[in-house]
Structure 1
Amino acid sequence: MRKISLLLVAIMMVSIVNIQTVLANTPDVSAASAVVMDTVTGRVIFEKNAHKKRTMASITKIMTAVIALENGNLNDIVVTSPNAAHAEGSSIWLEEGEKQKLEDLIYGLMLSSGNDAAIAIAEHIAGSVDEFAKIMTQKAKDIGAINTNFKNPNGLDEEGHYTTAYDFALITRYALKNDKFAEIVKTEKRQIPWEGHKWNRVLTNHNKLLKMYEGCDGVKTGYTKKSGRTLVSSATRDGWQVVAVTLNAPNDWEDHKKMFDYAFDRYKIQSVCEEGDFMKTIPVLDGKKDTISLVASASFQLPIMEGEKNKVEVKYDVPDYVMAPVNYGQEIGKIDLYLEDIKCGSIPLAAIDNVERKDVKMAFEKITKSWMMMFSNREIILKLMIN
């Protein structure tokens, strides 16, 4: 009995040590909600209250920029309305009736967090702030951010204006696929015109991580008294990009550095499929060959932890057969790659050889000859039976 008790104590001690080790390796962040997400797969690498709905402040402008880039022309001339010119909070000092290119307003939106720029953009794209907010919310739903609702384009506190850390990681992951968006949020300083003045406006990016963390790509800061400090940032190392989100984080700069270090220390880019790798063989009908081999038409890499490569699941989406002729390199179906039930990507499959169609005339003659031989043999057999 005493031996059993000692064994149980030993097991408990090992378990406690393991738990303490895990906790010691997990980022201790000041944020009320936080998440780190792989931009390739959407895989969550770290989270803390990631699905808790909270106010968001000026990170709202990430979606404002997305809608502007997707629905406007960068060379559009935007006229500043009285509503935009008198926007409260952070500003790029737009004046009523002032004209600016949409591109310059997006820079003012994302670098200097201009609330006036946000309203000018919204009114230009949708006619009103309310209509623009509806477009923002629908876009969020389309992306998969189902726990997000927008009431304005600038992030000022308003009833019904909320998101989650997880949702905003999804939104930013989507936004970073737009090359112009990625270019804007990485810009540290830019000058734009200032009508009626002898000098240009100088826009300075509020995101200190661009200088504080090697590999930082942007993205957007935010603050209101109700929301606290909010921050969305991304960083790339060894070709792998992650996005981090914190909501109500008193020490957000340090939080993000810790979360980035946690991700980059634990995960490495590894190849899970190489171009030309054999994947499957399928039948060919009416061909001079009965089957054709399919290979991966591209390579695919994933950020994964040590020992996880064998957990990548391959699901085939290929036809049961193909009709001849088949050409070398012809795309035939695809494979979908999954890790922990999350779809990581898809790779088209290609034929590795040519398969010509059978000669119909020769095939018919071959069948006819076979039938003639069969009937000829039948007559011989009948004669032998009669005799």
Structure 2
Amino acid sequence: HGLDDSNDHYSTARDMALLTAYALRNPVFKKIVSTKVKTIPNQGEEWDRRLLNKNKMLRMYQGADGVKTGYTKLAKRCLASSATRNGQQLAIVVLNAPDDWDDSATWMNYGFTHFPKMELLKTKQAVQEKKDGGKEKTLYTTRSFSYPLRPEEKGNIKMDVKTVDDNPMMEVKLGDQVIGRIPLEATKKTKETIQPTLANRVKNQWDAFWRSWLGVLSDG
């Protein structure tokens, strides 16, 4: 409930960061914590109430989009913050931090600089599944997959086709840790394969129309 009336009630910055990252998946929560100012009706009055978000990160840090300030006598100044740059969102939590704004900005800069988001798989990328008897089957990724990595960590990425609930998946590991599973499909449905087919259909219909029309003229 957020109250620390005893030393037996505690958490860690890591726990709070995991909770923050999970909460940011909720679009309603994400919109609320990124709102700087909100005007709401003031019941019984002719004027509205104007609510100002006290999270200074929203105004002082480029790309900041959350999350929550906090303070109790035991925990002191605390801040859960988030920011998004170049499609990558980071969540930072500092506890008992007298300089919480600058500390959070420093850690944000560190994260964006040292853990850039790297694309490991592209949408419709062909992968090979090894079947019994040494045969291979070509499958295609249904979406892209990116992950924040240090440059030297990219060499520790391992990928292998696995079957999960009877569905083929590309399993991505960083060392021995699974960091993602991407669904695979047997066909590559792209604009490049669809457009020629559509063009041929239109051409055939157009040719048929002209043949029919010319036939009518010649008969007349």
Structure 1 residue 275 displacement after superposition: 2.3
Q: How much has 1:332 moved relative to structure 2?
A: 4.2
1:324-375, Cα deviation, whole Å (9 max, x unpaired): xxxxxxx94102212244332210111148xxxxxxxxxxxxxxxxxxxxxx
Q: Distance in 1 between matches of 2:79 and 2:93?
A: 6
Counterpart-to-counterpart distance in 2, 1:352 and 1:215: 38
Decide which structure has the larger Cα Rg and report it: 1
Alignment match, 1:345: 180
Q: In 2, Cα distance between the equivalents of 1:342 and 1:164?
A: 22
TM-score by length of 2: 0.75
Percent identity between the aligned chains?
40
Question: How many residues of Structure 1 are paired with residues of Structure 2 in the alignment?
Answer: 184
Distance 1:214 1:161 in 2: 34
Equivalent in the alignment of 1:375: none
Q: 1:305 to 1:291 in 2, by over 3 A?
A: closer
Which residue in the other structure is 2:73 paired with? 225
Report the alpha carbon displacement of residue 299 of structure 1 after superposing the two structures with TM: 1.4
Matched, 1:158 2:5: yes
Taking only aligned residues, the RMSD between alpha carbons, in angstroms, comes to: 2.2
Q: Which moved more, 1:220-229 or 1:270-279?
A: 270-279
8 Å CA contact 1:332–1:351 kept in 2: the answer is no
Within-5 A mapping of 1:293-304: 293-304=138-149
CA deviation after TM superposition for structure 1 residue 291, in Å: 6.1
Conserved 8 A contact 2:129-2:161: no
Aligned residue for 1:275?
123
Distance across 2 between alignment mates of 1:351 and 1:232: 43
The answer on whether the counterparts of 2:126 and 2:138 sit within 8 Å (CA) in structure 1 is: yes
Identify the match of residue 266 of structure 1 among 114, 120, 123: 114
1:259-338 mapped onto 2 (5 Å cutoff): 259-283=107-131, 292-318=137-163, 332-338=167-173
Which TM-score applies when normalising by structure 1? Answer: 0.44
The SS at the match of 2:111 is helix
Flag structure 2 segments of 5+ consecutive residues without an equivalent: 189-220
What secondary structure does 2:25 align onto? coil
Distance 1:280 1:315 in 2: 9
Whether the 8 Å contact between 1:189 and 1:204 is mirrored in structure 2 is yes
- Match among 97, 100, 107 for residue 252 of structure 1: 100
Q: CA deviation at 1:283?
A: 4.5
Deviation at 1:297, TM superposition (A): 2.1
Query: 4+ residue runs of structure 1 moved beyond 4 angstroms?
Result: none
Q: In structure 1, how many angstroms separate the alpha carbons of the residues matched to 2:170 and 2:87?
A: 23
- The equivalent residue for 2:208 is none
**1:53 match:** none
Q: In 2, Cα distance between the equivalents of 1:273 and 1:172?
A: 27
- Please tell me whether the aligned partners of residues 272 and 301 of structure 1 are also in contact (alpha carbons under 8 angstroms): yes
Cα shift readout 1:199-247 (whole Å, capped 9, x = no counterpart) = 2222110100111100101100011222100100001111111100011
1:36 is aligned to none
**For 1:23-172, what aligned pairs fall within 5 Å after superposition?**
152=1, 155-159=2-6, 160-172=8-20
Q: Secondary structure at the match of 1:203?
A: strand
Amino acid at match of 1:179: P
Inter-CA distance 306–291: structure 2 relative to 1 (3 Å threshold): closer
Q: Does 1:238 align with 2:86?
A: yes
